[in-house]
Amino acid sequence: MNNKWWQKEVVYQIYPKSFYDSNNDGIGDIKGITSKLDYLKNLGITMIWICPIFKSPMDDNGYDISDYFDISEEFGTMYDLRELIDKAKEKNIKIILDLVINHTSDEHPWFKEALKNPESKYHDYYIFKNGKSVPNNWRSVFGTSVWEKVEDRDEYYFHAFGKKQPDLNWENPELRNELYKVVNKWLDFGIAGFRIDAITFIKKDLTFKSIEADGVDGMAKCTKVSRNQKGIDVFLKELRANTFSKYNCVTVAEAPGVEYDELSNFIGEDGYFSMIFDFKYADLDVKSGSEWFKRVNWTVKELNEKIMKSQISIQKTGWAANFIENHDQPRATTKYLIENERNNDAVKMLGAMYFFLRGTPFIYQGQEIGMINFERKSIGDFNDISSIDQYKRSIKEGFDEKDALHFINLRSRDNARTPFQWNNKKYAGFSTKKPWLKMNDSYININAESQIGKKDSIFEFYKSIINIRQNSKYSECLIYGKIEPIQTSDKTIGYIRHYNNIKIYCFFNFDNNETEEYFEGKYNETVLNNLDCEFIENGKLRLMPFQALMFTTI
């Protein structure tokens, strides 16, 4: 594919509610983001993705939108957003927003009118079924039935996620046109593009028949019948033609359920989107991303295989959006490094491993300082509706409360949503008021203030790898170069990036023991080394525990 402007970006994801509180009400806001632009510029990122800031009752922390054209009061105003975009532009930082068009809030005027008047056009903007009993046995992503009864009527509405998030009826062309207006208005406003939420859910199996149960509740995951269904291509082509293709924008799709042989349709030269997130390696610790109690023991070798399969498959047709953390995932430090979550060498190694994969790297807030998971002592400490539902499902499936709480602590979306740790003062410098979500006590030792300007800190390491990718003599190779897996020992992930006559060997040791690896050619120059030690001979190298080593050959 031809080189695109967005391939060179380094994206920083912000969960606005937890980034920085500028008005000391315990909730992060837009002005808080603006006030930290210098921090982000210092880090070296070039683009910010902001999770939903639109008007919302916040049942799912903004992913339940009640007005696409207004800003939630707790985050600020349209003027604040305009100021953020303009000031970010002065620092050569672009802004993309979260686009949520699979569903709305049940407090959106469209849905209110649909409930009020079943004869109105808005009733067909959503999915309703008549009947005195639940239409089928489909289970929502958040654990309950996808159907919610309409009060005082023999009617149910469909929601793939929470019951306050009714799905939009994409079969209705008038509804689709309304959504295209939303997209175009925001692109005209001056944003650089969108991360597109749950977009593979917009097409359903229109038979709405019950399917074989997969749980003791007698229900079955709705992803089998309401995600990436046959015919979705019609909607996605039309969406692109009426919106994205008219602008020089970037689109990053949350597209679970897309198989590798379908990638050309999604991210090929004429694909629906610029790039997609691939969750196949992100969910290697559970059998299903939506069933946390089905734990899987994994190995570094399996992680390596999943990452490389993803990279090679995407390379054939398009571009990857590479990540190890986001607002829906636990902290990568805890998830992938486990008991070594506080080992700075290990955290740096992990960061470098994914950062130099082929694609655009995404950094989630707090990742650059090594934030870790928390451990909450009771289900009452959780805010995330998905975590609460998974706790209840775990118990229904036969686990006791202790086990259920353990599963939730490992995978809860609240892990990544705790307030950003700016310093070691009260409330971690996030606010002077008690934050909306309980803090992680790790802020005493893990915080930005203690790392900025400190030579061996995780923050400065992230700053250095961004600089290597963006501004070094190897930038073209590390951005546009192809990727090729290397045969390594079981605890090492290795790959080659090559472009024109440059070949960079990349090795990442996940073990707390030394390991020996082999390479072709003759060592030339070190590109990256997170440790002082280095032992390289022709065709052979010794990696220290948690060493990340990248070098060129001749």
User: Is the same domain home to 32 and 94?
Assistant: yes
Which of 60, 254, 285, 368 does the annotation list as catalytic?
254
Residue 130 inside a domain? The answer is: no
487 and 389 belong to one structural domain: no
Contact 394/293 with Cβ under 8 angstroms? Answer: yes
Statement to judge: residues 358 and 300 lie in one domain: yes
Residue 482 to residue 357: CA distance in whole angstroms: 9
The one-digit pLDDT tens for each residue of the chain (554 residues) are: 689 999 999 999 999 999 999 999 999 999 999 999 999 999 999 999 999 999 999 999 999 999 999 999 999 999 999 999 999 999 999 999 999 999 999 999 999 999 999 999 999 999 999 999 999 999 999 999 999 999 999 999 999 999 999 999 999 999 999 999 999 999 999 999 999 999 999 999 999 999 999 999 999 999 999 999 999 999 999 999 999 999 999 999 999 899 999 999 999 999 999 999 999 999 999 987 778 999 999 999 999 999 999 999 999 999 999 999 999 999 999 999 999 999 999 999 999 999 999 999 999 999 999 999 999 999 999 999 999 999 999 999 999 999 999 999 999 999 999 999 999 999 999 999 999 999 999 999 999 999 999 999 999 999 999 999 999 999 999 999 999 999 999 999 999 999 999 999 999 999 999 999 999 989 999 999 999 888 888 889 999 999 999 999 98
Task: Please enumerate in sequence order all residues whose Cβ is within 8 A of that of 380, keeping only pairs 6 or more positions apart, or say none.
Answer: none
- What's 528's domain CATH number? 2.60.40.1180
Tell me: do 357 and 387 sit in the same domain.
yes
Task: Indicate the helix (H) or strand (E) that contains 189.
Answer: helix 173-189
Active-site option among 21, 148, 155, 197: 197
DSSP state string for 94-150: EEEEEEE-SB--TTSHHHHHHHH-TTSGGGGGB-EEESSS-S--EEPTTSSBSEEEP
- Per-residue pLDDT, 341: 98
What pLDDT is attached to residue 371?
98
- Do 299 and 196 belong to one domain? yes
With b meaning 16 or more CB within 10 Å and e meaning fewer, what string describes 144-162?
bbbbbbbeeeebbbbbbbb
Is the residue at 469 inside a domain?
Answer: no
Catalytic, 254? Answer yes
pLDDT, residue 537, reads 82
- Domain presence at residue 345: yes
Domain final residue, candidates 425, 460, 495 = 460
In which residue are the tokens 């506080």 written? Answer: 342
What is the tally of structural domains in the chain? 2
466 within domain boundaries: no
Beta strand residue intervals within 206-343, DSSP E:
220-221, 250-254, 275-277, 286-288, 291-295, 321-322
Q: In this predicted structure, what is the pLDDT of residue 79?
A: 98
Please provide residue 3's backbone torsions phi and psi, each rounded to the nearest 5 degrees.
-65, 135
Same domain, 434 and 529: no
- Do 235 and 303 sit in the same domain of this protein? yes
* Sign of the torsion angle spanned by Cα atoms 238, 241, 243, 245: positive
Q: Residues 490, 421: one domain?
A: no
Range of the domain at 498: 482-553
For position 535, what pLDDT does the model report? 87
Read out DSSP for 380-426?
A: GG---HHHHHHHHHHHHTT--HHHHHHHHHHH-THHHHSPP---SSG
Quote the CA–CA distance of 146 and 153 in Å, as a whole number. Answer: 17
Same-domain status, 501 and 404: no
Residue 133 resides in a domain: no
Check whether residue 453 and residue 520 sit in a common domain.
no
Residue 345: active-site member: no
Within a domain: residue 522?
yes
Phi, psi of 224 (to 5 degrees): -70, -20
Q: Is residue 400 part of a domain?
A: yes
Its pTM stands at: 0.97
CATH number of the domain enclosing 418? 3.20.20.80
Do residue 364 and residue 408 come from a single domain?
yes
Q: Are residues 436 and 509 in the same domain?
A: no
Tell which of 460, 491, 516 closes a domain: 460
Rounded to 5 degrees, what are φ and ψ at 284?
Answer: -70, -15
Report if residue 159 sits inside a domain. Answer: no
* The pLDDT value given to residue 288: 76
- Residue at which a domain ends, from 405, 428, 460: 460
